[in-house]
């Protein structure tokens, strides 16, 4: 079973609907036992970094998810679900992230361009053997909505980048934890392929 973690943020049902195209074993859940028994986890997130972390902490699910990650369960973070995997964010200096990856989330520096970065952007895939990007075309276009992006200390975890005023982290991956800054569920066929690849990995 794939558990989409419901900690009170994000449009979970559009994510669930995208996953349901490839498996009938997917469920939006805030049930600790279901998360403990899930084969794979999806960590969505939209809005402010600090609010996401507060919701996650208040939900009582954070330690369960961290334990499942340590146990090697595959996890896919989406949007702010990627950002909270890091140590912190300029958006909410008082809030600590999960610290799974070392590094900070920084405001996009794009002089002359609108921030938030909103819309379709081509992506350069760095980790070409990553399961998420199997069978993707060269420089696929994905849909982004964000004002901040992760800056990992260890650049080897950067799975994909995109250009918007500066080079931005579009996806990260290490071992069983992977995440996209873009929204695969809103990115048409190439986005659905990312979801399909995660389901089948």
For position 87, which CATH number holds?
3.40.50.880
Query: What is the chain's mean pLDDT, rounded?
Result: 97
* Residue 79 binned pLDDT confidence (cut-offs 50, 70, 90): very high
pLDDT of residue 10: 72
State the angle between helix axes of 49-59 and 62-70 in degrees (0 to 180), rounded to the nearest 10. 90
Q: What amino acid positions are annotated as catalytic residues?
A: 79, 183, 185
Counting beta carbons within 10 angstroms of the beta carbon of residue 115, is it exposed (0 to 12), middle (13 to 18) or buried (19 or more)? middle
Model confidence at 134: pLDDT above 90: yes
Model confidence at 197: pLDDT above 80: yes
Model confidence at 27: pLDDT above 80: yes
Domain count, the chain: 1
pLDDT of residue 61: 96
Measure the CA–CA gap between 99 and 53, rounded to whole angstroms.
12
Measure the CA–CA gap between 102 and 185, rounded to whole angstroms.
27
* Residue 9 binned pLDDT confidence (cut-offs 50, 70, 90): confident
* Residue 81 binned pLDDT confidence (cut-offs 50, 70, 90): very high
Determine the average pLDDT of the residues in 130-150: 97
Determine the average pLDDT of the residues in 39-51: 95
Determine the average pLDDT of the residues in 178-193: 98
State the angle between helix axes of 12-20 and 188-200 in degrees (0 to 180), rounded to the nearest 10. 70
Measure the CA–CA gap between 122 and 164, rounded to whole angstroms.
10
Listed in order, strand segments (DSSP E) in 79-157 are 88-89, 103-107, 117-122, 124-125, 141-146, 148-152
pLDDT of residue 52: 95
User: What ranges in 71-185 are assigned the alpha helix state H?
Assistant: 80-83
Per cent of the chain over pLDDT 90 is: 97
Model confidence at 80: pLDDT above 80: yes
Measure the CA–CA gap between 78 and 172, rounded to whole angstroms.
11
pLDDT of residue 83: 98
* Residue 84 binned pLDDT confidence (cut-offs 50, 70, 90): very high
Q: Both tokens of residue 200?
A: 């089948």
The domain in which residue 10 lies consists of 2-200
Model confidence at 11: pLDDT above 80: no
DSSP 105: E
């Amino acid at each position: 079973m794939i558990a989409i973690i419901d900690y009170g943020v994000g449009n979970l049902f559009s994510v669930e609907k995208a996953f349901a195209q490839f498996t009938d074993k997917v469920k939006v859940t805030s049930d600790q036992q279901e998360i403990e028994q899930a084969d794979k986890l999806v960590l969505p997130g939209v809005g402010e970094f600090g609010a996401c972390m507060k919701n996650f902490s208040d939900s009582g699910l954070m330690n369960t998810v961290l334990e499942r990650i340590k146990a090697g369960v595959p996890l896919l973070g989406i949007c702010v679900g990627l950002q909270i995997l890091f140590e912190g964010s300029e958006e909410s200096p008082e809030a600590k992230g999960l610290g799974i990856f070392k590094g900070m989330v920084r405001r996009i520096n794009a002089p002359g361009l609108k921030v938030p970065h909103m819309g379709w952007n081509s992506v350069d895939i760095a980790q070409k053997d990553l399961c998420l990007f199997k069978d993707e075309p060269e420089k696929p276009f994905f849909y982004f909505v964000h004002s901040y992006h992760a800056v990992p200390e260890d650049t080897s975890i950067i799975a994909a980048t995109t250009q918007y005023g500066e080079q931005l982290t579009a996806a990260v991956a290490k071992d069983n934890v992977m995440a996209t800054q873009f929204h695969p569920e809103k990115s048409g066929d190439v986005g659905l392929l990312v979801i399909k690849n995660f389901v089948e990995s």
